[in-house]
Amino acid sequence: MQSLPIYLYQNNLDVILDLDPDVQGVNRVMYQRDLQIQKGIKNQVRVQFKNSDQKRIPISNTATFVFSMFDAISQRMLIQKELSVLDDGVTTSTRGLALLTLTESDTINLDRSSYTYSVKYQDPTDGTYLPAYSNTYYGMNGTLYLSDDIYPVLQPSQEVTSLQQSYNQQTQMWEFKSRAIYAYPEYKSNTALHTIAFYMTGFIGTVYIQATLNNTADDLNKFSTIQTLTYNGFTGIDYVNFNGIYTYIQVMYIPAKGPTDSQNDNPAYYGSFDKFLYRC
């Protein structure tokens, strides 16, 4: 039996803030770790303020600390957040501690990439901002890496804009069929949801959604109709959901015949079936 350990802990970030006039020496840290943030979820980072001697220093609960995140190339500001000070002046474990909270909406539209961040604090005497440092070498900014490892990447829908026209001798009607579209049955769960969106302009006729369980789509006659939809001059986008662990699906539509038409080949009457999108 396999064992999978999962760890739940705070994301901590050390920031150098030299407000202590009694520092006797400098304990230099060679590297400051990159800050790791996950895209599209709530991230909380505990920011620990220290002096250059690597000792936690108290920060006033009235002080204002601001986190800024920007594009490292264009220097365009992307996120600016005020930190919540956790230091209450009494509890030893929270000395010099503040909390950065990034919501889902802060990062959902950003690209997975490396960014630059900085922390500054407001001098309570005159309201001006002073820099904090990301390391003991007076580096004023650090590197933040925005990951996208939690949610799967949304795949684009398959778009079909042209359907093959053929004449059915039995029904004496023209039919338009799409190619066989692979439905990825190996990725389906028990629900096996499929969605098709139809784009039409004044369309009059019948649309058939067909599917097969065969491993190959060589014989299009092996497709069975699973849903039938009838339209009478529809313009816009219509969609349908259906379930099933199918190997291939295809869409067929048959235009309606006009009152004075001998064949169903008059687009001026039945309008147009523009395209459809398929997602599985």
Per-residue model confidence (pLDDT) at position 6: 43
pTM of the model: 0.58
- Give CA–CA dist 85/46, Å, rounded: 10
Q: For the segment 75-113, what is each residue's pLDDT rounded down to a tens digit? A: 899 999 998 888 888 888 888 888 899 999 899 888 888
Q: 136-140, 143-147, 160-164: which has the minimum mean pLDDT?
A: 136-140
- Give CA–CA dist 271/235, Å, rounded: 9
Instruction: Sort strands 129-131 and 158-160 into parallel, antiparallel or unpaired.
Output: unpaired
First to last CA, the chain: 33
Summarize the chain as % helix, strand, coil (round to 5): 5, 45, 50
Mean pLDDT within 211-228:
80
Q: How many angstroms separate the Cα of 71 from the Cα of each of 13, 42, 115, 117, 143?
A: 20, 20, 5, 9, 10
Per-residue model confidence (pLDDT) at position 234: 95
Domains of the chain listed by start with CATH number: 11-147 (2.60.40.3350), 158-279 (2.60.120)
Confidence tier at 1 by pLDDT (50, 70, 90)? very low
Q: For the segment 119-137, what is each residue's pLDDT rounded down to a tens digit? A: 888 877 787 888 777 665 6
Per-residue model confidence (pLDDT) at position 159: 92
Q: Which amino acid is at 118?
A: S
Per-residue model confidence (pLDDT) at position 2: 39
Q: What are phi and psi for residue 153, nearest 5 degrees?
A: -75, 130
Mean pLDDT of the chain: 83
The pLDDT > 90 percentage for the chain reads 32
Query: Is residue 24 predicted with pLDDT exceeding 90?
Result: no
Confidence tier at 4 by pLDDT (50, 70, 90)? very low
Q: How many angstroms separate the Cα of 21 from the Cα of each of 53, 57, 116, 213?
A: 11, 11, 29, 77
